[in-house]
Amino acid sequence: MKILITGGAGFIGSAVVRYLIKSTHCEVLNVDKLTYAGNLDSLADVSSSEKYRFEQIDICDKPSLSNIIVDYSPDLIMHLAAESHVDKSIDSPDVFIEANIVGTFNILEVSRTYWGSLKHSKKDNFRLHHISTDEVFGDLATTDDLFTEETAYEPSSPYSASKASSDHLVRAWYRTYNLPTIITNCSNNYGPYHFPEKLIPHIILNALKGRPLPVYGDGSQVRDWLYVEDHAKALYEVITRGHVGETYNIGGNNEKKNIEVVESICNLLDELAPSKPGNIKSYNELITFVEDRPGHDQRYAIDTTKIKNELGWEPDVNFEEGLRETVKWYLDNKAWWERVLSGDYALDRLGLDD
């Protein structure tokens, strides 16, 4: 089976590629523009596989996208390419509109043309899987609510609005053109190879350098945390066994306040990296509360009942285990993140959440 993946050099995309190459019989074509967050180093373990191929293509380049899909003739397409950082979307929303809305439109159109050209079982079995986020739902009103597949959309940031728009486009192409699509909405991912702009790697690397650990507001914002390798397995289950036209929510069942996440990282570093920078006795001393983000959602939490009942998927990794593995990975893979940070990035420019 041949799968084309957009955004396969990104954090989640690379986890999916690694899983497919190592744990399935699938062949994979990775289509990625290689923006600042795309990193082929994250695919070093599988890049030499005969089952793997890479093409540097921007999904906003419709002719090139169409040509590569026709050339590769995939059985399935998984669309993960997206701009995903909330703070950057507030500063530069146009980039998110272009990549997440126009890019998804291009994927839908070239997939529709390609699917229309297929014959017999290949056409019957084709699927386009659009990977999205729980941020499209906005935030939850109470501590007991959960996002379900029927939750109304109420995005709060340019990022989440652009992803909500892309979800609506996918549903419209299914309804209008019968294009066989599936959507998944996931909670906050974490794990190895995470780009340092996101909360967990940002805190780890700032702490190791003895820099302030910025926390928005009072840190009471709640997120559900999903280990990225669990997510990769879930996405494979959905693309191979999910029902056309359906949406599946994917979560880790690990709700944590942001301040709890930061404190847990500090405690792990106290244990695993006892040689601390400066004169601090504990990494917790570096925690610094900063002005809250505009329109910051207070709580996300996902109901995973549907994917569990229909596909039998549940997360394997709890947060404590996954966070320990993540911290250890960053301690053991200094060359990877130093290479990332050797570009135009500075830790004090990177984001604090999501």
Predicted confidence pLDDT, tens digits, the chain (354 residues): 999 999 999 999 999 999 999 999 999 999 999 988 899 999 999 999 999 999 999 999 999 999 999 999 999 999 999 998 888 899 999 999 999 999 999 999 999 999 999 999 999 999 999 999 999 999 997 778 999 999 999 999 999 999 999 999 999 999 999 999 999 999 999 999 999 988 999 999 999 999 999 999 999 999 999 999 999 999 999 999 999 999 999 999 999 999 999 999 999 999 999 999 988 999 999 999 999 988 888 999 999 999 999 999 999 999 999 999 999 999 999 999 998 888 644 444 334 445
Domain assignment of residue 285, yes or no: no
Catalytic residues: 134-135, 159
Q: Which of 198, 204, 213 is nearest to 288 (CA)?
A: 213
pLDDT at 343: 65
pLDDT at 186: 97
Q: Which of 169, 178, 110 is nearest to 136 (CA)?
A: 169
How many domains does the chain fold into?
1
pLDDT at 295: 83
Domain assignment of residue 164, yes or no: yes
Domain hosting 97: range is 2-195+225-253+298-318
Give the SS3 label for residue 343.
coil
What pTM value is reported for the model? 0.94
Domain assignment of residue 229, yes or no: yes
Give the SS3 label for residue 301.
coil
Domain assignment of residue 347, yes or no: no
> What phi and psi values does residue 317 have, to the nearest 5 degrees?
-105, 120
In angstroms, the Cα distances linking 99 to 96, 106, 118, 153 are: 5, 10, 27, 20
The length of the chain, given as a count of residues: 354
Q: What is the domain-level CATH number for residue 190?
A: 3.40.50.720
pLDDT at 251: 97
Domain assignment of residue 130, yes or no: yes
d(CA 120, CA 53) in angstroms, rounded, equals 26
